[in-house]
A and B are shown apart, each in its own frame.
Chain A
Amino acid sequence: MVTISVLVLLGLGLLTAAILAAASRVFHVSEDPRVAAVLEALPGANCGGCGFAGCEGYAKAVVTDPSLPPNRCCAGGAATAAKVSELTGKAAAASEAMHSFRRCNKRQGNVGLRYTYQGIPSCAAVAALADGAEMCSYSCLGYGDCVSSCPFDALSIRDGLAVVDEAACTGCGKCAEVCPRHVLELVPSRARVAVTCATLDKLKAVTEVCGVGCIKCLRCVKACPAKAVQLENGRIQIDHEKCLAHGDSCGQACVASCARKALCSLRPVLLEPLAKAEEKTA
């Protein structure tokens, strides 16, 4: 019996190893060794902030796609970007730090309530119920779907509005994904101006519900010397690349031009003190 059991198990072990060895030859899929190396360098949080399905997806893409920048991993930050760029031989383009930014100022605009909502405390749920509880169908809902989605605890709800902690925000974009109203969007941390309203409505439809809503008068579009401000898909969008490239010489013409300032306030740079310091030196 001893011999038979030893032989059977020996045979099984040999067979398994042989089949696996043969299979790993026959079914060998040549994989760039750099993929494994990049994967090793990534933090492995699988947060999806890079826009790929998990760290492995990004590792594969960044190795194979020459146009993909090595700094997409927001969780790892600059250190990871440096490692990835070293591994892929891509120049570490100055990593453009991004922030989440809320395009709504409903408190300032005095947006009223349609009804009192007492259901499940989730933005997705309230948004599905007669276009939300507020008069504006595009405002921040304030039930914090973004807060629970944030892997870095950078969001909180204050007075019914999502507030971004800019120091903690890594710009992974998770919140922008879950926000059912697309109130949150990513802007470069250096951005000089940003739109604080997300409405798709125009003119009277806006003025009726909100004191500070964008009415699409398009003055800002005309005022911008760099053609960085455009109406896209019914909302004013700023091409931050063009805007930053043009520099401060315009004196933020778009902000100045905004109809009654309060209506569609394009706000100065996120880091206001910095802007002020620049003004002083100028």
Chain B
Amino acid sequence: MKSVLHMLVVLAAICGLSGFALSYLKMETAPRIEEQVLTYVQGPAILNVLTGIDNSPIAERRKFSVEGRSVTVFPGRKDGKLVSVAIEDSGKGFGGEVGVMVGFDVSRDTLTGIGITTMKETPGLGTRIADPGFTGQFIGKPTNEKLKSQGGSIDAVSGATISSTGAVTAVGRAAKSYAALKPEILKAWQ
């Protein structure tokens, strides 16, 4: 019995100690990890959709809350003046959620572009929603843009209607957040 107790105590102590040390380390590194993930995962997409800016959108990012959800907004500034913002959102695609980074022109309330950040669509079919042929259609369009089949002007990728719909849904949801947050955004970055 004593040996069993010994076993229990030692193993539990090792596990508990490592749990403590690791969670401490996690808390210490969490902000840096978040920044790194943003830089390397969302970063390229953000810089893609926010063209002609001269600040660092990731460093100046800010969190807002919309209907209880936390939304991260990345501002794009030129000569210190806010010209565009990027908001990420997702919609249901064929293989799972399609994450889309959506850029908004603040003065004209149009889209400056979209970029796919995460997706699990069928390689060769659904993944073509990340091609410029599809994403490029959004540049300069109004924020409530839809697919042609839904009465809008966007051509869906042939053979990947569900993936395309997912992307458009994501754009729509981001636009909704943008519309709700616009006053706050303008106030935050003047």
The distance in angstroms between the C-alpha atoms of A21 and B8, with both chains bound, is: 8
User: B10-49, CB under 8 A of A: which get 1 and which 0?
Assistant: 1111111011101110110000000000000000000000
Residues of B within 8 Å of A9, CB to CB, are: 15-16, 18-19, 22
> Does chain B have a CB within 8 A of A91?
no
B7 touches A10 (CB 8 A): no
Q: CB within 8 Å of B: which residues of A?
A: 1-2, 4-10, 12-14, 16-18, 20-21
30 A/B residue pairs, CB under 8 Å, sorted by A: A1-B23, A1-B26, A1-B27, A2-B20, A4-B23, A5-B19, A5-B20, A5-B22, A5-B23, A5-B26, A6-B16, A7-B19, A8-B19, A9-B15, A9-B16, A9-B18, A10-B12, A12-B15, A13-B12, A13-B13, A13-B14, A13-B16, A14-B11, A14-B15, A17-B8, A17-B10, A18-B8, A21-B4, A21-B7, A21-B8
Tell me the minimal C-beta distance from A6 to chain B in angstroms: 4
A6 and B19 in contact, given A1-B26, A13-B14 (Cβ under 8 angstroms): yes
**Which of chain B's residues have a CB closer than 8 A to the CB of A5?**
19-20, 22-23, 26
Beyond the given A14-B15, A17-B12, please list 8 additional residue pairs across the A-B interface where CB-CB is below 8 A: A1-B23, A1-B27, A5-B22, A9-B15, A10-B12, A10-B15, A13-B12, A13-B16
CB-nearest residue of chain A to B4? A21
On whether the beta carbons of B27 and A16 are closer than 8 Å, the reply is no
Known: A1-B26, A1-B27, A21-B7. A6 touches B12 (CB 8 A): no
Interface residues of B, dominant DSSP: helix
Q: Complex formed: what's the CA distance from A6 to B88 in Å?
A: 33
Chain B residue with Cβ nearest A16 = B11
Bound CA–CA A5/B19 (angstroms): 6
Bound CA span A18–B26, Å: 28
Partner of B7, one of A1, A4, A6, A17: A17
B13 CB contacts on chain A under 8 angstroms: 13
Question: How distant is B2 from chain A, measured CB to nearest CB, in Å?
Answer: 12
A7: nearest chain-B partner, CB-CB: B19
Smallest Cβ-Cβ distance to A13: which chain B residue:
B15
- Nearest CB in chain B to that of A4: its residue: B23
- A14-B16 Cα distance, complex, nearest whole Å: 10
A10 pairs with B8, CB closer than 8 A: no
A18 to B4, CA, bound (A): 8
A18–B5 Cα distance when bound, in Å, is: 9
Q: Measured between C-beta atoms, what is the minimum distance from B153 to chain A in Å?
A: 47
Give the nearest-CB partner of A18 in chain B.
B8
Residues of A within 8 A of B18 (CB): 9
Q: In the assembled complex, how far is the CB of residue A10 from the closest CB belonging to chain B, in whole angstroms?
A: 4
Query: Would A13 and B11 count as touching, CB distance under 8 A?
Result: yes
Given the known interface contacts A9-B16, A10-B19, the answer about A2 and B24 at a Cβ–Cβ threshold of 8 Å is yes
> A12, A17, A21 — which one has the most chain B CB atoms within 10 A of its CB?
A17
- B residues less than 8 Å from A12 (CB atoms): 15
Within 8 A of A (CB), among B132-173: none
Listed residue (B10, B12, B14, B20) with the most chain A CB atoms within 10 angstroms of its CB: B12
What chain A residues lie within 8 Å of B4 (beta carbons)? Answer: 21
Name the residue in B7, B8, B19 with the highest tally of chain A Cβ atoms < 10 Å from its Cβ.
B19
Which of chain B's residues have a CB closer than 8 A to the CB of A6? 16, 19-20, 23
Q: Give min CB distance, A28 to chain B, whole Å.
A: 12
Q: How far is the CB of B179 from chain A (nearest CB, A)?
A: 34
Chain A residues, CB < 8 A from B16: 6, 9-10, 13
Provide the residues of chain A in CB contact with B11, threshold 8 Å: 13-14, 16-17
- Given the complex, which residues of B lie within 8 Å of A2, measured CB to CB? 20, 23-24, 27
- The chain A residue with its CB closest to the CB of B5 is A21
Kindly state the separation between the CA atoms of A152 and B129 in the bound complex, as whole angstroms.
68
* Smallest beta-carbon distance B29→chain A, Å: 13
Contacts of A20 in B (CB 8 A): 7
Please indicate the chain B residues that have their CB under 8 angstroms from the CB of A10 in the complex.
Answer: 12, 15-16, 19
| Chain A residue with the shortest CB-CB distance to B18 | A9
Chain A residues with CB below 8 A from B22, complex form: 5, 9
Nearest chain A CB to B16's CB is how many angstroms away?
Answer: 4
Q: What's the Cα separation between A12 and B14 when bound, in Å?
A: 11
Distance of A13 Cα from B7 Cα, bound (Å): 10
